[in-house]
Amino acid sequence: MAKDEPDGRMKRKAYEKELAKLQVELCHLQDYVKANKLRVIVLFEGRDAAGKGGTIKAITEKVSPRVFRTVALPAPSDREKTQLFFQRYMQQFPAGGEIVIFDRSWYNRAGVEYVMGFCTPAEHERFLTLCPQMEKYVIDGGIMLIKIWLEVGMDEQERRFKARIDDPVRQWKLSPMDLESFRRWYDYSRARDLMLKKTNTKDAPWCVVRSDDKRKARLNCIAHILGAIPYKRIKKDKVKLPKRAGKGRYNDQASLKGMNFVAERY
């Protein structure tokens, strides 16, 4: 267990055992989605340090990036700021046989943009009004939409932020915006409450996952996704390696002599 990880959490060995089982099922899901040209969107929202990145990594670790495609858009460009708000997100929507995972999504407008003043109150209100209509349009068009909110507690978020400050490989995860979001905890709570109230619809409900125990949260998210997309295992022919063709045989290692090889330091 990591030094910065509290006691009482799910142990790594138990987590890895369950994760391996779920990742096998994700591969079966992948085959079914590809064979049936399904279109799926899974979006993850939550406060900074809620565990979105780690959860998405656990989902995509063993599957094909050609089927499971992750989208984490940067701040909009000057050109994108003049487009319809949903436009740059819809450009990323799945084609047949794809599952698109949004690491933050159009719900930025209900969270960071609203709290930090990057949109006007009128734009925020318009988003909350139009968002359920847009999502119904997407679903009626044949796209499955799964919305997951990762709920991290105040103390746990603080612990994770402090761990990032002291860890050189995680410091990139801390931005001035993250620190400001930490300060404005209750502003974000109120924005969350309003967002969930206005956009938790029958067509596109929110599913909340408590993420103080990040391992349990990852497993619960994967299990939820597997349960939300009806799928069957695709029967495949057993793969058998063919014999290598001997035609044109030559010493293909000798031909590399004189090339510039990387130093073998390990």
Q: What is the pLDDT of residues 171-216, one digit of tens each?
A: 887 888 888 899 999 999 999 999 999 999 999 999 999 999 999 9
Q: How far is the C-alpha of 83 from the C-alpha of 130, rounded, in Å?
A: 16
H helices within 9-51, ranges in order? Answer: 12-35
Looking at residue 1, its pLDDT comes to: 44
Residue 170 binned pLDDT confidence (cut-offs 50, 70, 90): confident
pTM: 0.92
> Could you give the percent of the chain with pLDDT greater than 70?
97
pLDDT of 48 > 50? The answer is yes
What average pLDDT does this structure show over 24-53? 97
Q: How far is the C-alpha of 7 from the C-alpha of 18, rounded, in Å?
A: 20
Looking at residue 219, its pLDDT comes to: 98
Looking at residue 100, its pLDDT comes to: 98
Burial class (CB in 10 A: 0-12, 13-18, 19+), 88: middle
Looking at residue 6, its pLDDT comes to: 63
- Report the Cα 133 to chain-centroid distance in Å: 23
Burial class (CB in 10 A: 0-12, 13-18, 19+), 230: exposed
| Structure-token pair, residue 158 | 């603080």
Q: Could you tell me if 149 and 206 are in contact, meaning their C-beta atoms sit under 8 angstroms apart? A: yes
Looking at residue 178, its pLDDT comes to: 84
- Report the Cα 130 to chain-centroid distance in Å: 24
Determine which of 52-61, 130-139, 169-178, 214-223 has the lowest per-residue pLDDT on average: 169-178
How far apart, in Å, are the Cα atoms of 238 and each of 21, 63, 233, 241, 243? Answer: 21, 19, 14, 10, 16
Looking at residue 171, its pLDDT comes to: 82
Looking at residue 4, its pLDDT comes to: 54
Question: Is the pLDDT higher at 38 or at 169?
Answer: 38
Q: Could you tell me if 84 and 109 are in contact, meaning their C-beta atoms sit under 8 angstroms apart? A: no
Q: DSSP assignment of 231-252, as one string?
A: --PPP-PPP-PPPPP-TT---T
- In the three-class reduction of DSSP (H, G, I as helix; E, B as strand; rest coil), residue 37 is classed as coil
How many other β-carbons are positioned within 10 Å of the β-carbon of residue 90? 11
What average pLDDT does this structure show over 77-90? 96
Of residues 59, 34, 95, the one with CA closest to residue 231: 34
| Structure-token pair, residue 236 | 């495949």
Residue 167 binned pLDDT confidence (cut-offs 50, 70, 90): confident
Looking at residue 176, its pLDDT comes to: 83
Q: What is the dihedral of CA 180, 196, 131, 143, to 10 degrees?
A: 110
What average pLDDT does this structure show over 125-135? 98
Phi, psi of 193 (to 5 degrees): -60, -45
* Residue 178 CB partners (closer than 8 Å, separation 6+): 48, 49, 161
pLDDT of 238 > 60? The answer is yes
* Residue 7 CB partners (closer than 8 Å, separation 6+): 1
